[in-house]
Structure 1
């Protein structure tokens, strides 16, 4: 079960013939709620002009994937279309659609997540099927409709009279992503959200299902509340949940150990400062490898499937157990200095220096000796194998399309330094990427606009973009993953025979 959104990556490319298309409705307020504020066309245009101006100033490479003439034309059309007052959700929709035209995961505007959560909290009904996308086709991963005729693994070929390939185009324009593969991976979490963004509140949906050996079925499925979906979930066959437990270590056999480190941050943090406290994570990792040593494990499978990533302050603790030489997670880390990034960093430190962490102070020192527009090197010190006891067996790292951020960096590091063998399916997130996201605030709407201030190159120096980590040995991920975890079983067999 996919129980949460791992990445807030919710902005998209919009193809517009002219003017502005207000795609989708937005949640109706509670009956007693006051009408939403309307922002004037002048306020909206001012914010949109600020957005593009500051993106051009602060973004590391705004036109890396979308040529400047193309983005300029879209900017002009969108600006001209901002000709009447809009609510904040409507304005957010327009601004995020433009940001996503950059085709870069870290170029984004405030997501509709808060609007969606409010809508659902107040009884809002939604599309009741979770999906899995394979080779461009869409399958039922979880059926929360209450209709027993729908099975996990059924292919959805039509929704409200449109093909699912068309629906993917419609919904994925609300996702900032370098590639369709990455957009697909995110849509497996967020498809119901963006069906709502496209259609607004509706009572139900007409779908066509295809099943091997059976005739196509035409069904009307009800839109359902959160409570109805929770009740339906209890009636469904159990599926693999890689978040329960969040972190796990055990022996799979006499010779193969298993480690799921969980996210590379302090998941138990209650304050901003605690987010940087690595002690609990270190204790878990050290204890896991100590137990593997006591069990005389000949190999370990490190499971990064569905891992949202985090910070190398944590992941270096893990890698130090398997490293055979000094390492760093990137061969290059170049930053574009700008007034926007400097101001955001200063505000973060001023608000809470402990919560901002040590990296923010390093940024401040770097900015103090550079000018806006400079491209500067951000020094990444070498990390070292841990002194004393280390794991000397064979290492296998298991990844999938939903291994993100620092989990991708760990996989790339292990592959490039030859610390182990990568198993699974290619990551959708990039190994060489534009990252280290910062934000600025629009004056009138107060929307947050995110942008990457850095270009980060994987350890082997591969400058090719729009590429994730490709496994050394690929394992096909099934449409529906049962609690038996067939993928892990295959990985265990590989570990035993390699």
Structure 2
């Protein structure tokens, strides 16, 4: 059940595991209270004004003229009172217009969760988007003539290209490929936000036997879970931490770079993670492995305080995760950082931020000098390989880029959707009337090799991921074979 963990991500609202942030911003609570037209407009004007002021570069991908036009268009659409959830969705369609992943307002996903748990029905197909085309990867409908690998050409007579364009407004993403990856994780939910509750969909399917229209009944939550539990043979890559040795190759799946311990009080406590990494490399040493494969596929990321510790085990020189880290000063950033210090969430980073912006004015940009991580004197000296895929995100991508740029490891797999050079270091502010939390990037982070062009990590050894992944894990088997060839 490879999508079971993806459902978990959607229910978490995507923010923690896809883009780790130091803020506590969240708009996931369902709220049907009504907001007056005047209050909505006031907050909408505040949203744009503060984004312009606080964002590192709001106009990186859109011109100011385009943004102004979009702002006026949406403002004119506000002609009556709205629920808080409706306002949240509207404001996200403005934030997402920036085409920057960290410029976002969390959708009111709790509304969808409540709907599903009240036996609300949703679209029964899970999909993958390749080069703008939508393919079925899992079918939980009663339609037996839809197979994995079939292309969805249209939904309710709307071509998929048009539908993908319509759904883009719900997701903040720098590129189309990043958007497609996010959409795969939440397609049924996005259809619900776009169309509301539906009893059925007319789906135009293109398969081996040509094209056909099929009426698909939507599926209830309990029915979906039951069918998923009955499904056999699909690969499930979740949050597990795994260490094994096979064919004299050490295999390390470190899991997310945050604390996943059950009932963990501090998500950033890396005590157990460091213990796991220590034990893993001790095992590799005792068993005298000839190479190491680190599996970051479907890894949601986290913080470099976790990943740097792992990299230190095999780094042959001192390193840092970015060649350049520029930060823009704003009252929004300062307020968020001061609040962390006030709440005694004191970290060296927060204190260094405070020292850096002291005496600077709003709009100033400063270089945040990253400390070098020291390479271990007792490092693992055998060849290291890192396996990534389209759903390696956030700090998992940073880790792969760092290892590639410093020549610590050979990268394998498929190109990541997430970016190695990015607008990040996310903060958030709350709007005055609605208290909606708005996330924004305060920094421009350049990958270690200094490349400023934003794109995903391109593997040194390309291993294509099949449309449908089975438990035999052909990608992993291919990676192991490629490593064996290099003994």
TM-score bin, normalised by smaller chain: over 0.9
Q: Say if 2:15 and 2:106, in contact at 8 Å, map to a contact too.
A: no
1:320-339 alignment runs, 5 A limit: 320-339=312-331
**1:112 partnered with 2:108:** yes
2:129 to 130, 133, 138: 133
1:336-415 alignment runs, 5 A limit: 336-351=328-343, 353-354=344-345, 357-388=347-378, 390-415=379-404
1:65 to 61, 70, 93: 61
The equivalent residue for 1:238 is: 233
2:441 to 443, 452, 456: 452
Q: 1:146 to 1:233 in 2, by over 3 A?
A: farther
Q: Say if 1:156 and 1:164, in contact at 8 Å, map to a contact too.
A: yes
Q: CA–CA distance in 2 between the matches of 1:168 and 1:435?
A: 25
Q: TM-score normalized by structure 1?
A: 0.90
The CA RMSD over aligned residues, in Å, is: 1.8
Report the alpha carbon displacement of residue 275 of structure 1 after superposing the two structures with TM. Answer: 2.4
1:78-477 alignment runs, 5 A limit: 78-212=74-208, 214-243=209-238, 246-253=240-247, 255-268=248-261, 270=263, 274-351=266-343, 353-354=344-345, 357-388=347-378, 390-465=379-454, 467-477=455-465
Q: TM-score normalized by structure 2?
A: 0.92
Q: 1:360 to 1:117 in 2, by over 3 A?
A: farther
CA offset digits 1:393-415 (Å, max 9, x no partner): 11111111111111111111111
Say which SS state the counterpart of residue 138 (structure 2) adopts. strand
CA offset digits 1:17-73 (Å, max 9, x no partner): xxxxxxxxxxxx9xxxxx932211110010001101111110001101101111011
Say which SS state the counterpart of residue 370 (structure 2) adopts. coil
Q: Compare 145-154 and 410-419 and name the one that shifted more.
A: 145-154
Report the alpha carbon displacement of residue 271 of structure 1 after superposing the two structures with TM. Answer: 5.7
Q: Compare 232-241 and 146-155 and name the one that shifted more.
A: 146-155
Say which SS state the counterpart of residue 313 (structure 2) adopts. helix
The equivalent residue for 1:8 is: 14
Q: CA–CA distance in 1 between the matches of 2:246 and 2:354?
A: 46
Say which SS state the counterpart of residue 227 (structure 1) adopts. helix
The equivalent residue for 2:21 is: none
Report the alpha carbon displacement of residue 131 of structure 1 after superposing the two structures with TM. Answer: 0.6
Report the alpha carbon displacement of residue 348 of structure 1 after superposing the two structures with TM. Answer: 2.8
Q: Say if 1:103 and 1:176, in contact at 8 Å, map to a contact too.
A: yes
Q: 1:148 to 1:85 in 2, by over 3 A?
A: same
**Which runs of structure 1 show a deviation greater than 4 angstroms over 4 or more consecutive aligned residues?**
269-272
CA offset digits 1:327-356 (Å, max 9, x no partner): 0000011110110111112223323x24x6
Say which SS state the counterpart of residue 450 (structure 1) adopts. strand
Q: CA–CA distance in 2 between the matches of 1:143 and 1:287?
A: 40
The equivalent residue for 2:471 is: 483
Q: Say if 2:150 and 2:207, in contact at 8 Å, map to a contact too.
A: yes
Q: Say if 1:154 and 1:210, in contact at 8 Å, map to a contact too.
A: yes
Q: Say if 2:92 and 2:169, in contact at 8 Å, map to a contact too.
A: no
CA offset digits 1:471-494 (Å, max 9, x no partner): 111111100000000001111111
Say which SS state the counterpart of residue 197 (structure 2) adopts. coil
Q: CA–CA distance in 2 between the matches of 1:414 and 1:358?
A: 24
